[in-house]
Amino acid sequence: MAPITAGNLPRVAIIGGTGYGGAELIRLLHAHPGVALVRVTSIDHVGVAVEDVHRNLGRTGLVFENLSPPAAAEGMDAVMLALPHKVTATVAAELAELPVRIVDLSGDFRLRDPAAYQKFYGVAHPHPSRLGSFVYGLPELHREAIQTARHVASPGCFATTIALGVLPLAAAGLLRGAVRTVAATGSSGSGAYPGEGTHHPVRVNNLKTYKVLDHQHTPEIEQTLADAAARGGHTPAFSLLFVPVSAPLSRGILANTFVDLDPSVDDAMITTMYRSFYGASPLVRVLGSKRQAEVVAVKGSMWADVSWTVGPVVDGRRHAVFTSALDNLIKGGAGQAVQSLNLMLGLPETLGIDAVGLWP
């Protein structure tokens, strides 16, 4: 167990620390000035120093422990769950009975509809009555709810990227009909364990689509955009057609979302709308139509960049493309989970996650 130098710091444990998400959580929380990371559990590498597995880390004073979830949560102010989908569902439900804050990085509590979970995750949810009991951890939409939440479901990487690209449109009731997105992601989104589709010699020379119109983040994005529309007083009247692309890069997501708008909507109106909507969001950069969002500008950082191109009016509708980019492991993963943790603990929202990115 790491020595605690400030006894009043909130104590945090990570359950599931050997994957990429867990590694990023350890990196961020170990250096975080407002919390004490005191425990990391795993069923792998038990008793091994954390830095011997994640060799980018300096000395942490931590070893991987094989503990039951309640034992891992004992004495903690917060627990971060970095476990696979379908595994987390039972663990989180067990911990939800304890007086500890939970931030879950899996998809098991993001959806409110059990039928949607079963369709897109391939199994019935083991605790369907708990769906909807976790606050969806997208601060740009649910900041106030996260601040008072005990349990948060941190969003998916594709879901965060795509939603941030068009949230202001949804809130203004401007999304109508089919919303089409093509989004490319890096290989780290597939997890730490290699598979046929992520094997480096193949992926580094390749571009391919997968889970076309059937990705598990589809209902999550639709739910998020519908929530934004409802908050703006609008009845959702759109659906998402999502094509994911496997890209030859390690980390990052770039999403292009095609939207047909009312002909009266122009670049100036969109600029005003986006700057107003994201005015209180410290980690979203609204680039507008003069600069394009790109992965290299957000790699290794918590920034989410949003840009757009406003096209002509065709068949009575204004065509536009909204481009969004972020690092899938940070703003799309562990960093966003820490962002929610900060809000839950009453800490400054960007504390411990405001480091500059990597270039190139």
Judge if 191 and 340 occupy the same domain.
Answer: no
| Token pair of 306 as six digits | 């949003």
| Token pair of 216 as six digits | 């598990």
Residue 89: closest CA among 124, 125, 133: 125
Domain count, the chain: 2
Judge if 52 and 165 occupy the same domain.
Answer: no
CA angle 191, 303, 354 (to 5 degrees): 95
Residue 160: closest CA among 37, 325, 308, 8: 325
Judge if 184 and 317 occupy the same domain.
Answer: yes
Judge if 320 and 338 occupy the same domain.
Answer: no
Q: Three-state SS for 38?
A: strand
Does the residue 249 lie in any domain? Answer: yes
Judge if 145 and 175 occupy the same domain.
Answer: no
The whole-angstrom separation of Cα 209 and Cα 212 is 7
Does the active-site annotation cover 157?
Answer: yes
Does the residue 350 lie in any domain? Answer: no
Question: What confidence score (pLDDT) does residue 201 get?
Answer: 77
Does the residue 139 lie in any domain? Answer: yes
The whole-angstrom separation of Cα 348 and Cα 339 is 9
Assess whether pLDDT exceeds 60 at residue 281: yes
Judge if 149 and 197 occupy the same domain.
Answer: no
- The torsion of the CA quartet 197, 203, 208, 214, rounded to 10 degrees, works out to 40
Over the stretch 237-262, which tens digit does the pLDDT of each residue have?
A: 999 999 999 999 989 999 999 999 99
Judge if 339 and 298 occupy the same domain.
Answer: no
CATH number assigned to the domain comprising residue 269: 3.30.360.10
CATH number assigned to the domain comprising residue 39: 3.40.50.720
Does the residue 349 lie in any domain? Answer: no
User: pLDDT averaged over the chain?
Assistant: 94
pTM score, whole prediction: 0.95
Residue 325: closest CA among 288, 297, 357: 297
Provide the domain limits for residue 38.
11-155+333-344
Judge if 167 and 242 occupy the same domain.
Answer: yes
Q: Are strands 11-15 and 151-153 parallel, antiparallel or unpaired?
A: unpaired
Judge if 222 and 303 occupy the same domain.
Answer: yes
Over the stretch 109-163, which tens digit does the pLDDT of each residue have?
A: 999 999 999 999 999 999 999 999 999 999 999 999 999 999 999 999 999 999 9
Over the stretch 308-337, which tens digit does the pLDDT of each residue have?
A: 999 999 999 999 999 999 999 999 999 999
Q: Which of 67, 78, 157, 159 is catalytic?
A: 157
Does the residue 119 lie in any domain? Answer: yes
Does the residue 206 lie in any domain? Answer: yes
Q: Give, for 308, the enclosing helix (H) or strand (E).
A: strand 304-314
Q: Are strands 78-81 and 64-65 parallel, antiparallel or unpaired?
A: unpaired
Of the two residues 352 and 194, the one the predictor is more confident about is 352
Assess whether pLDDT exceeds 70 at residue 192: no
Report the percentage of the chain scoring pLDDT > 90. Answer: 91
Residue with tokens 């094509």: 243
Question: What confidence score (pLDDT) does residue 36 get?
Answer: 98
